[in-house]
Structure 1
């Protein structure tokens, strides 16, 4: 009976199968067998203390033994039911902690203490001092790798990536959306201990609303960047500048800023070594505002390359009339 689809099993047999998943406290038969009468025959009904263990049958006065169990015939032990599936077992929570601060001068210990106080083993806490502007964060990738490995070997456990607050995860909606997609794909859960969105977010449960919000944020930001790029290209064209970045910050200068800042130098220090090569301010240092503006444009292009490329393509079509 147990091998047949549930829809093809008669109700009486389904009731009997459910009852026989439990041993009988009255006649002492093990699970998998019908009840036994005092004479040693198969009882015509299941004993009350047995069928009341099945919630949907608990209020019935009696549950008949189906004909295929041989009521009235000599009792013989039946086949024990299979062990419960692993999915029926209680699931355990396994947490992987991640802590980050954005510079060498910021303090990291409070995050580590909060993660440890939350019950996360020290060997499952990853930390690093690195700017969110750096796309590759080795310890963050290591935390995700461990979470994926644990989930693969223990699929019935709930594996949770825990951080102190959202800003430790990324700097913009694009990164948060990419992370959300990664967690969903690998069945991982996100947890934040502090901040305005503190709580546990399971992408397969109620927490999916947060992940949908990440996606909406990313789409809104992508569209805003596309429009801003179009407006910038149009403004530059009106001034006779058909290139991209303003000449005050050249590609070489930007590369220098990115390289030295990644090594830990401040923008203020780097600025003193930058010289404007052309224009009215030739030979002078660029302003901090110009450098930060160039960095912001670079970051947008890195985060949303499709939006920037789309804007350039649309602008080219508009200016050529195609």
Structure 2
């Protein structure tokens, strides 16, 4: 049996260290981490690797259920996939595991709460943006890509896939920047 930890934060400027430390203390011999939204499983390569790596008797451990996902269906699918591989999932806070039937019920409810919390966050964010726009203080979100570099690489003959790989982003982001310029 291997304890495999998974740590996730939503943005690049957030810190994973607290989660990683807690997972180490709990005895995780392998810890995978990533900085990506938990709104869906899209773009979560490390999570996909963890699920693929699970073997019978393994334990996938996360510090909180919302680190695994903020969509109830995604969380339930992850639990199902782990069980199909003979593994189980343990959430540390609150301590719940899929080893027992009650753990399934609790994780389902917690998954629903995480999804509801995500909706509340998005709603508050939209309200805040609207207030900022109304007062003239809204300047848009922080740019995460170097648009000039994308354009330069494109003019140098590089394709979208090569640019995306070089900058660590998706081809769609590259296409969007090129279309806007």
TM-score range, shorter chain: 0.5 to 0.7
- 1:75-224 to 2 correspondences below 5 Å: 93-121=1-29, 124-133=30-39, 135-147=42-54, 150-151=55-56, 158-194=57-93, 197-202=94-99, 205-210=101-106, 213=109, 217=112
Count of residue pairs the alignment pairs up = 118
Partners of 1:160 and 1:114 lie apart in 2 by: 15
Three-state SS of the structure 1 residue aligned to 2:5 is strand
Counting helix residues as a fraction of each chain, which structure ranks higher?
Answer: 2
Select the structure of larger CA radius of gyration. 1
Partners of 1:98 and 1:104 lie apart in 2 by: 16
The Cα shift of 1:176 comes to 1.3
Could you tell me whether the CA contact under 8 Å between 2:96 and 2:107 is conserved in 1?
A: no
The Cα shift of 1:213 comes to 4.4
Return the TM-score normalized by structure 2: 0.56
Could you tell me whether the CA contact under 8 Å between 1:128 and 1:139 is conserved in 2?
A: yes
The Cα shift of 1:171 comes to 1.4
Could you tell me whether the CA contact under 8 Å between 1:96 and 1:159 is conserved in 2?
A: yes
The Cα shift of 1:269 comes to 4.6
Three-state SS of the structure 2 residue aligned to 1:268 is coil
> Could you say if the C-alpha distance between residues 119 and 165 of structure 1 is closer, same or farther in structure 2, counting changes exceeding 3 Å?
same
Partners of 1:163 and 1:139 lie apart in 2 by: 13
Could you tell me whether the CA contact under 8 Å between 1:177 and 1:214 is conserved in 2?
A: no
Could you tell me whether the CA contact under 8 Å between 1:180 and 1:211 is conserved in 2?
A: no
Partners of 2:18 and 2:141 lie apart in 1 by: 29
- 1:66-77 to 2 correspondences below 5 Å: none
5+ residue gaps, structure 2 = 117-138, 144-181
Aligned to 1:154: none
Return the TM-score normalized by structure 1: 0.33
Aligned to 1:52: none
Aligned to 1:26: none
What do the CA deviations read for 1:198-249 (whole angstroms, capped 9, x no partner)? 232226x44233356479x59xx9xxxxxxxxxxxxxxxxxxxxxxxxxxxx
Three-state SS of the structure 1 residue aligned to 2:21 is helix
Could you tell me whether the CA contact under 8 Å between 2:96 and 2:106 is conserved in 1?
A: no
The root-mean-square deviation of aligned C-alpha atoms, in Å, is: 2.7
